[in-house]
A and B are shown apart, each in its own frame.
Chain A
Amino acid sequence: MRPVAALALAVLAAAAPAGAADGAPAPARAREILALLRQDCGACHGIRLTGGLGPALTPGALRAKPSEGLVATIVSGRAGTPMPPWRDFLSESEARWLVARLLAGDADAPR
């Protein structure tokens, strides 16, 4: 499972050099970020991203929201809610990449 997922990411990265130029993280870092998404974001948003104390992060739930706002929420948190800022652990370009993956419904974490 793990090598296959890593390979798939490596292939994706190789096939999309434009993505890399847009700030797509290296494959190993991408794996880390997606694991963080499922496991740590998942503590509130659900391991399947279907929501919990925090809202769902499925494409359907996010579609109506401007993606810059989603990036800002990840980086800076959201006052008045439990959503913390993740800037110490994710760069803005990584957050942007993550939002794109979420909106595309393509945020499967390697296990």
Chain B
Amino acid sequence: MRRASVRAAAAIALAGAAVFAHAQALRGTGDLGIVVERAAGRVQVVDTTARASLATIDGLGDLSHASAVFSRDGRYAYVFGRDGGLTKVDLLAQRIERRVIQAGNSIGGAISQDGRVVAAQNYVPGGVKLFDAATLELLSDLRAPAGPDGKPSKVVGLADAPGGRFVAALFDANALWLIDAADPRAPRTTAFADAGRQPYDGLVTPDGRWYVAGLFGEDGVALLDLWHPERGVRRILDRYGRGDEKLPVYKMPHLRGWAVAAGYAYLPAVGRHEVLVVDTRDWREAARVPVAGQPVFVIARPDARQVWVNFAFPDSGKVQVIDTETRTVVRTLEPGRAVLHLEFTPRGEAVWISARDDHKVVVYDTATLAPVATLAADSPSGIFFTARAARMGF
């Protein structure tokens, strides 16, 4: 009798738990992430341990070329949409916490070292806007220096840097831009003119010291020492670029994934079917690895033993794996049509790959190089895991 009532009580408690599980279940965020469904304006919240989708969140606007950064507690994703939308997504409550339309045409953003400021980089109007990460209140609006057409330059390659700073590249103004946002309501900017023609993307190295911007309009790479910005921009890798024979580039490479493995950076060549290997001690080219197409993302597994590469149209159905010890391609995979992005789990035992035209995300075991799970997704593009919250330049 007594036992029965205990059982009944347990059953009621279980039923209650099931009803309120969504609201009450405690969990961390370290194995969460989002998958962007670019055409539908949605994101999926995914769990990299269960290899499952937990929820789909609608209403994020135009997510072509969307990117995301995370709050340092890993709970919130800040998603930057092409239409200028900045959406703060609560991964635990699985809903949109806040959303603002902050520009006419945007391309991405960054979050400050202390996690308090979210910065958006915009094409129209060209500039950077700083927001309170908690409320999305606009803190300051920085208009970029003008390009040749007199309009503020499009801003690319925005990244956070140590010391409460942000760095960006100005595509039309041929300049780099250092933003000291220690006081985000009164940021101080320094423009480095003549950094190189048409910087198309940039990144901060994993140690936070260097800002590196690829140039589209000429060969070479612009390098800024964030320990010594007063020394100005240096030009390195004068053979990096499109070269004399300007090959058509069907998609701009992304540098944010620039892999640094064991002291060597692996960079996507511009237009060429090559990945460049650069010694980060002296910034000289050490090798070139022939690959299957024009590389877009070149990303190191967290332990840096492998570098994974995807490609621009028309080779976007392939992914290649480079062994960093021998600097050779060890496997060519065909995860699906139009591979747009790949993201490693925090310690790299698996990698998630989006295949836009096959409407799926394929998870590969990075030891066996075999697919281990497939998730359905509507035109998936970017995949972003919360481990980015703890990485400089992400």
B-binding residues in A (CB < 8 A): 35, 39-40, 42-44, 46-48, 50-53, 77, 80, 82, 84-85, 89, 111
Contact = CB atoms under 8 A, between A and B. Distances in A.
Interface in B292-341: 313-314, 338
Interface string B73-91: 0000000001100000000
Contacts of A82: 198, 200, 216, 249, 252
Contacts of B177: none
Contact of B82 (A52, A77, A111): A52
Contacts of A89: 314
Contact of A39 (B123, B171, B216, B338): B338
A52 B123 CA distance: 7
B251 A46 contact: no
Main secondary structure of the interface of A (DSSP, over half): loop
Given A52-B82, A52-B105, A44 B379 contact: no
Interface of B: 38-39, 62, 64-65, 82-83, 105, 107, 123-124, 154, 156, 171, 198, 200, 216-217, 248-252, 313-314, 338, 356-357, 379
Given A51-B124, A52-B107, A111-B379, A46 B250 contact: no
Given A39-B338, A39-B356, A46-B62, A51 B105 contact: yes
B248 A77 contact: yes
27 contacts: A35-B357, A39-B338, A39-B356, A39-B357, A40-B250, A40-B251, A43-B64, A43-B65, A46-B62, A46-B64, A46-B65, A46-B105, A47-B64, A48-B62, A50-B62, A51-B105, A51-B123, A52-B65, A52-B82, A53-B200, A53-B252, A77-B248, A82-B200, A82-B216, A82-B249, A82-B252, A84-B249
Contacts, number: 63
A8 to B, nearest CB: 18
Nearest to A84: B248
Contacts of B107: 52-53
B43 to A, nearest CB: 15
Report, nearest first, the 5 A-B pairs whose CB atoms are least far apart: A84-B248, A47-B64, A40-B313, A43-B251, A85-B248
Given A46-B65, A52-B65, A53-B156, 10 more contacts: A42-B64, A43-B65, A46-B105, A47-B62, A47-B65, A53-B123, A53-B200, A82-B200, A82-B216, A111-B379
Nearest to A45: B64
A44 B313 CA distance: 13
Contacts of B252: 43-44, 53, 82
Contacts of B379: 111
Nearest to A83: B248
Nearest to A49: B64
A40 B65 CA distance: 11
Given A39-B356, A51-B105, A82-B216, A46 B82 contact: yes
Contacts of B314: 89
Nearest to A50: B105
Contacts of A44: 251-252
Contacts of A77: 248
A111 B38 CA distance: 12
